[in-house]
């Protein structure tokens, strides 16, 4: 078959080729060090669906719109949290305080539920049914309104349908922990 490319296609393809070349030329160490300069907070994102409970400490999270109020979070594609978020269509953002590094650490491991405790910590359910940890000083509950599955994490966009600031405190920041997740 004869395939004749238009000038536009040739230009487009060569631009794509340039992008590919640039992508492959990235020095992985330089990329890692540069990306690790992005600053983050730490949160426990939780969700439950059909007996699958996921509650994981995450840092790839941000507000993404005022109106409607949106939060976006990148959730590991092969995690229970991912399964529960997709199934339930909702998630809760448990906002950690600067004194809750130990609490963050308890949610790096797979989630285990015993009675009204998750990984040893009491929780309750409010509007969405996603677990809200009793110890947190602020939280938001979100309804999933969009998702983008491109890499090893899926980006979920959630509309904030409930939010509480229970008491005064300071948020836990990634730089204060010495941990990295990114790069
Ligand atoms: C510092 C740190 C930050 C993390 N940030 C994220 C994140 O943004 N998104 C995510 O899905 N997992 C993140 N994780 C991984 C989760 O906390 C958790 O270990 C993992 O999702 C558990 O998966 P599992 O349910 O398959 O055991 C992070 C881990 C660490 C140590």
156 or 115, which is more confident: 156
Q: What is the pLDDT of residue 25?
A: 77
Ligand 1 and 47: CB distance under 6 A: no
Angle at 125 between CA 56 and CA 77, to 5 degrees: 30
E strand or H helix at 58: strand 52-58
Ligand 1 centroid – CA 67 distance (Å): 29
Confidence bin at 174 (pLDDT 50/70/90): very high
Residue 51, phi-psi category: left (phi > 0), alpha (psi -120 to 50), beta (remainder) = left
DSSP-assigned letters across all residues of 103-165: HHHTTSSPP-EETTEETTEEEE--SS---EETT-SEEEEEEEEEEEE-SSEEEEEEEEEEEEE
Nearest Cα to Cα of residue 56 among 68, 67, 64, 48: 48
pLDDT score recorded for residue 115: 87
Q: 79 in helix, strand or coil?
A: coil
Looking up tokens 């015993």 gives 114
CA of 10 to the centre of ligand 1 (A): 42
Q: Establish whether residue 177 lines the binding site of ligand 1, counting it when its CB lies within 6 angstroms of any ligand atom.
A: no
Residue 118 has pLDDT above 70, yes or no: yes
Nearest ligand 1 atom to the CA of 56 is 17
What are the tokens at 90?
């909702």
Distance 102 CA to ligand 1 centre (A): 15
> Residue 178: which residues within 8 A CB-CB, separation 6 or more?
none
CB-based contacts of 183, cutoff 8 Å, min separation 6: 31, 32, 33, 35, 36
pTM higher than 0.85: yes
pLDDT attached to residue 121: 98
Q: Ligand 1 centroid to 76 CA: how many Å?
A: 7
Give mean pLDDT, residues 123-142. Answer: 98
Counting beta carbons within 10 angstroms of the beta carbon of residue 160, is it exposed (0 to 12), middle (13 to 18) or buried (19 or more)?
Answer: middle
Closest ligand 1 atom to residue 61 Cα is: 8
CA distance 42 to 105: 10
Mean pLDDT estimate for the chain: 91
| Residues 41-50 pLDDT 10s | 999 999 999 9
User: Domains of the chain (ranges plus CATH)?
Assistant: 43-176 (2.30.110.10)
């Amino acid at each position: 078959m004869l395939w004749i490319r238009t000038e536009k296609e040739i230009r487009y393809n060569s631009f794509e080729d340039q992008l590919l070349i640039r992508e492959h030329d990235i020095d992985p160490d330089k990329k890692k060090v540069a990306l690790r300069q992005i600053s983050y907070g730490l949160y426990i994102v939780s969700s439950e669906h059909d007996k699958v409970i996921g509650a994981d400490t995450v840092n790839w999270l941000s507000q993404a719109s005022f109106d409607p109020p949106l939060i976006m979070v990148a959730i590991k594609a092969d995690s229970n949290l991912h399964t529960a978020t997709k199934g339930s269509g909702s998630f809760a953002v448990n906002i950690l305080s600067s004194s809750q590094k130990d609490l963050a650490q308890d949610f790096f491991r797979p989630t285990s539920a015993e009675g009204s405790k998750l990984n040893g910590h009491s929780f309750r359910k409010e509007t969405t049914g996603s677990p809200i940890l009793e110890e947190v000083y602020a939280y938001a509950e979100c309804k999933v309104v969009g998702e983008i599955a491109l890499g090893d994490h899926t980006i979920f966009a959630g509309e904030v349908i409930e939010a509480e600031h229970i008491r005064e405190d300071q948020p836990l920041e990634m730089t204060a922990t010495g941990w990295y997740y990114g790069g």
